């Protein structure tokens, strides 16, 4: 507690001593400082950088090269009778190939040799990344149902990994064989 003494010894007035509770006042000030700091940080983050430039190429006088979309191989294994290989550039379908679905048992594992052979042929004809110094891989997207057996999914991924190419590390060194495709799964 802090006190204020107003005096009161000069004649008519009486002494008025007041006590001010400082602890709640300090608590209030600390809360106020914390609130101001937090709101100052968040208001800075809420700003959007905007300018009045019109969308378009950075230099409108120069010709802009249209970027070529890369081909992707979509492997659809939704039916029981066949696989469908679809080459796409963006959303444009370039080519569609049907491959009969013939599973072959090798011990406990399932294989699809016809699919592997057809994917190798297709990569030879349509693959984009062939050079040993090319660090990118061609993209394969696997479309499957939720009810597909796990061993069948693995067999199809193995078939997609069948075509291989030479690859050299960026710093040089010995060339080695790697799969030609990077496999991802489709959302639906």
Q: For residue range 6-62, list pLDDT tens digits in order.
A: 665 555 666 667 777 788 889 999 999 998 887 776 655 555 555 555 555 566 666
pLDDT tier for residue 185 given thresholds of 50, 70 and 90: confident
In this structure, the chain runs to a length of 188
Distance CA 142, CA 74 (A): 6
Q: Which has more pLDDT, 118 or 14?
A: 118
153: Cα within 13 Å, side-chain hemisphere: 14
- Given a contact cutoff of 8 angstroms between Cβ atoms, the answer to whether 142 and 157 are in contact is yes
Q: Any idea of the CA torsion for 151, 152, 154, 159, to the nearest 10 degrees?
A: 140
Mean pLDDT confidence for 151-156? 89
Percentage of the chain beyond pLDDT 90 is 11
Local structure of residue 91 (DSSP, 8 states): T
The predicted structure's pLDDT at residue 44? 55
Domains located in the chain, CATH noted: 71-185 (3.30.420)
């Amino acid at each position: 507690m802090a006190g204020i003494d107003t005096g009161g010894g000069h004649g008519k007035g009486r002494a008025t001593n007041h006590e001010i509770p400082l602890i709640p006042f300090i608590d209030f000030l600390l809360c106020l400082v914390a609130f101001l700091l937090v709101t100052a940080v968040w208001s800075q983050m809420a700003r959007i950088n905007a300018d009045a430039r019109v969308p378009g190429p950075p230099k409108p006088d120069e010709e802009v090269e249209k970027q070529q979309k890369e081909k992707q191989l979509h492997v659809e294994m939704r039916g029981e009778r066949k696989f469908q290989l679809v080459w796409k550039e963006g959303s444009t379908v370039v080519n569609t190939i049907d491959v009969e679905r013939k599973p072959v048992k090798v011990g406990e594992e399932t294989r699809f040799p016809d699919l592997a052979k057809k994917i190798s042929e297709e990569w030879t004809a349509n693959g984009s990344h062939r050079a040993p110094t090319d660090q990118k891989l061609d993209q394969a997207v696997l479309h499957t149902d939720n009810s597909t057996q796990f061993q069948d999914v693995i067999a199809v991924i193995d078939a997609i990994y069948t075509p291989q190419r030479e690859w050299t590390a960026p710093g040089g060194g010995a060339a080695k064989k790697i799969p030609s495709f990077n496999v991802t799964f489709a959302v639906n």
